[in-house]
Amino acid sequence: MSKKGSNEERAVVKLFEERGFGAIRVPASGARTKSDKPDVLAGNGRFYFAVEVKSSKNDYIYIRSEQVEELLNFASAFGAVPLVVAKFTYVPYKVFSPSELNVTKSGKYTIHRDFAKDGIDLVDFIDEKR
Amino acid of residue 68 = V
Q: Which helix H or strand E contains 48, and what residues bound it?
A: strand 48-56
Strands 22-25 and 48-56: unpaired
How crowded is the C-beta side of 112, counted as CA atoms within 13 Å? 5
> Given 6, 29, 99, 106, which residue is catalytic?
29
Catalytic residue list contains 29: yes
Residue 72 CB contacts under 8 Å (≥ 6 apart), including other chains: 82, 98
DSSP state, residue 37: -
Query: Positive or negative, the Cα torsion across 16, 22, 25, 30?
Result: negative
Catalytic center residues: 29
